[in-house]
């Protein structure tokens, strides 16, 4: 069994994540994010294709810069706040309970467009291309 919570991992402040603005706070609860090596991870957690589970906190106006996903998919599940997700030039506003999936090969950016802190969960999985049933 792997059991881990906020009290078991270090919060990491990431300045201008992927070239974005301001700083975000990240808890890497499970797995390892190879694109952000400054976050201590747990690479042996998953037997599946899931790479990581992050809990992210963003102050008003903070943004994750535009970046591309090659060989992975990522979903953002908003817990609290108001965000703007842009994928391949198309934007959608997100509120609590909304989820957006960034597919393999897509470029995306994300911004806290609300007046309060934003809290979300981010999960990434590597992609093995296969025929869907």
- Tokens representing 116 are 């309060």
DSSP state for residue 45 in the 8-state scheme: S
Domain boundaries, the chain: 7-126
Return the minimum-mean-pLDDT range out of 8-12, 53-57, 73-77, 114-118.
Answer: 8-12
Mean pLDDT of 94-99: 98
Name the band, by pLDDT with cuts 50, 70 and 90, for residue 130: low
CATH number of 7-126: 2.60.120.10
What is the structure's pLDDT at 99? 98
Does residue 133 carry a pLDDT above 90? no
- Position 40 scores a pLDDT of 83
Which phi and psi (to 5°) does residue 90 adopt?
-105, 130
Question: Is the distance from CB of 94 to CB of 84 less than 8 angstroms?
Answer: yes
**pLDDT tens digits for range 18-73:** 999 999 999 999 999 888 888 888 889 999 999 999 999 999 999 999 999 889 99
Mean pLDDT for all residues in the chain: 93
Determine how many CB atoms are found less than 10 A away from the CB of residue 70.
10
pTM: 0.90
Residues in Cβ contact with 90 at an 8 Å cutoff, skipping those fewer than 6 apart: none
pLDDT computed for residue 129 by the predictor: 66
Q: What's the maximum distance between 2 C-alpha atoms anywhere in the chain?
A: 43
């Amino acid at each position: 069994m792997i059991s881990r919570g906020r009290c078991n991992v270090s919060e990491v402040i990431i300045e201008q994540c992927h070239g974005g603005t301001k700083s975000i706070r990240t808890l890497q609860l499970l797995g390892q994010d190879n694109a952000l090596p400054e976050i201590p991870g747990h690479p042996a957690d998953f037997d599946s294709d899931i790479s990581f589970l992050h809990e992210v906190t963003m102050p008003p106006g903070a943004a994750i810069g535009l970046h591309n996903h090659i060989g992975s998919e990522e979903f953002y599940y908003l817990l609290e706040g108001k965000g703007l997700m842009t994928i391949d030039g198309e934007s959608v506003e997100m509120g609590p309970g909304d989820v957006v999936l960034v597919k393999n090969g897509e470029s995306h950016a994300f911004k806290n467009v609300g007046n309060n802190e934003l809290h979300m969960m981010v999960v990434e999985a590597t992609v093995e291309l296969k025929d869907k049933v």
